[in-house]
């Protein structure tokens, strides 16, 4: 006598065995991908990181301040404004077109992190021989657009923190160059389009041009980093005009997490 239900059970057992074998093969031959730039706790390690088209206040205009953007170099991510008084962020991008840069310092009354645990600071570096290749004098239009190679030169030659900790700005900001009463800054704001007198003002007026000036950063936790900003326009055009959308930050940074001031970093450890 034949028992059809036994044949059905036999087929089901074979299917289950094949399924288990397939899953075992996949788990051994195709291990889950790992990210060598993060530690076991999921936080980026010492290394160089590039941030492209980071959306800040993309609806901002030159008529008023943009909504602040808080960024963590330690975690390589945006931090919500609700955490402004925490130690979770390192740089805040504020003011017109998010062009002012502030540190997270809980002891500085003018820092966005005032009242929190932040120990941060910032310092703008200027290399005279690099500046001379595109700039004549502070407050005047650039004599030429800085070549992108100059940004890399300035970033790469910044191999350590050479200034004393008390020289870092804790409450003051790094702003646009000689704009609205400021001094040396990270970008030149061509208010009237003077760099391009032959171009219509509706194309080249109110344009910001980044300059190859690295920023030293002491993070909210007390580690050190260097940052070079390339652009505040979408896709980081070398020669921006009014057709390019503002509010998109592109920058590169290197962060040292071993507690030293060594910034001679070439890759993630």
Instruction: Please indicate, yes or no, if residue 23 is contained in any of the structural domains.
Output: no
Q: Please report the pLDDT score of residue 268 as a whole number.
A: 56
Instruction: Please indicate, yes or no, if residue 25 is contained in any of the structural domains.
Output: no
Any idea which of 140-144, 165-169, 233-237, 246-250 has the lowest mean pLDDT? 140-144
Domain that holds residue 133: 38-256
Any idea which of 7-11, 24-28, 92-96 has the lowest mean pLDDT? 24-28
Residue range 97-106, pLDDT digits in tens: 999 999 999 9
* Helix (H/G/I), strand (E/B), else coil: 177: strand
10 Å CB burial of residue 121 (0-12, 13-18, 19+) is: buried
In which region does residue 187 sit, left (phi positive, over 0), alpha (psi from -120 to 50) or beta (all else)? beta
H or E stretch including 21? helix 4-29
Average model confidence (pLDDT) across the chain? 86
Instruction: Please indicate, yes or no, if residue 18 is contained in any of the structural domains.
Output: no
CA dist 214 → 92, 127, 208 (Å) = 16, 9, 16
| Token digits of residue 134 | 């595109």
Q: Please report the pLDDT score of residue 39 as a whole number.
A: 55
* CA atoms of 182 and 175, how far apart (whole Å): 7
**Residue 42, pLDDT above cutoff 60:** yes
- DSSP states of 221-251: TS-EEEEEEEEEETT--SS--TTSPEEEEEE
Instruction: Please indicate, yes or no, if residue 233 is contained in any of the structural domains.
Output: yes
Instruction: Please indicate, yes or no, if residue 72 is contained in any of the structural domains.
Output: yes
Average pLDDT of the residues in 197-222: 95
Task: Please state the φ and ψ torsions of residue 201, each to the nearest 5 degrees.
Answer: -65, -25
Instruction: Please indicate, yes or no, if residue 161 is contained in any of the structural domains.
Output: yes
Query: pLDDT band for position 266 (50/70/90)?
Result: confident
DSSP 8-state secondary structure symbol assigned to residue 169: B
H or E stretch including 130? helix 128-131
Q: Please report the pLDDT score of residue 36 as a whole number.
A: 40
Higher-pLDDT residue of 136, 110: 110
Task: Give the chain's domain count.
Answer: 1
Instruction: Please indicate, yes or no, if residue 191 is contained in any of the structural domains.
Output: yes
Instruction: Please indicate, yes or no, if residue 8 is contained in any of the structural domains.
Output: no
Average pLDDT of the residues in 152-167: 97
Higher-pLDDT residue of 49, 1: 49
Average pLDDT of the residues in 183-191: 94
Q: Please report the pLDDT score of residue 41 as a whole number.
A: 55
- Percent of the chain at pLDDT above 70? 83
Higher-pLDDT residue of 56, 201: 56
Average pLDDT of the residues in 27-38: 39
Place of tokens 């505040």: 232
**Residue 47, pLDDT above cutoff 90:** yes
Q: Are 244 and 177 in contact (CB under 8 A)?
A: no
């Amino acid at each position: 006598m034949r028992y059809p239900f036994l044949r059905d059970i036999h087929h089901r057992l074979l299917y289950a065995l094949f399924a288990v074998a397939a899953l075992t093969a996949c788990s051994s031959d195709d291990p889950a991908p790992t990210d060598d730039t993060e530690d076991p706790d999921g936080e980026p390690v010492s290394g160089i990181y590039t941030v492209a088209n980071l959306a800040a206040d993309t609806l901002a205009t030159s008529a008023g301040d943009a909504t602040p953007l808080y960024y963590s170099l330690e975690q390589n991510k945006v931090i919500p404004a609700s955490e402004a008084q925490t130690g979770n962020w390192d740089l805040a991008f504020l003011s017109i077109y998010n062009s002012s840069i502030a540190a997270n310092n809980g002891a500085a009354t003018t820092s966005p992190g005032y009242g929190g645990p932040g120990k941060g600071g910032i310092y703008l570096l200027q290399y005279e021989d690099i500046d001379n290749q595109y700039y004549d004098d502070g407050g005047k239009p650039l004599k030429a657009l800085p070549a992108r190679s100059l940004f890399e030169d300035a970033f790469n030659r910044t191999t350590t923190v050479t200034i004393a900790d008390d020289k870092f700005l804790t409450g003051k900001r790094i702003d646009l160059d000689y704009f609205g009463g400021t001094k040396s800054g990270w970008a030149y704001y061509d208010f009237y389009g003077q760099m391009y007198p032959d171009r219509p003002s509706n194309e080249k007026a109110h344009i910001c041009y980044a300059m190859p000036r690295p920023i030293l950063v002491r993070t909210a936790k007390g580690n050190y980093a260097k940052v070079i900003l390339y652009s505040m326009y979408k896709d980081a055009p070398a020669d921006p005009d009014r057709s390019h959308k503002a509010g998109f930050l592109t920058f590169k940074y290197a962060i040292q997490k071993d507690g030293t001031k060594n910034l001679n970093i070439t890759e993630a450890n």
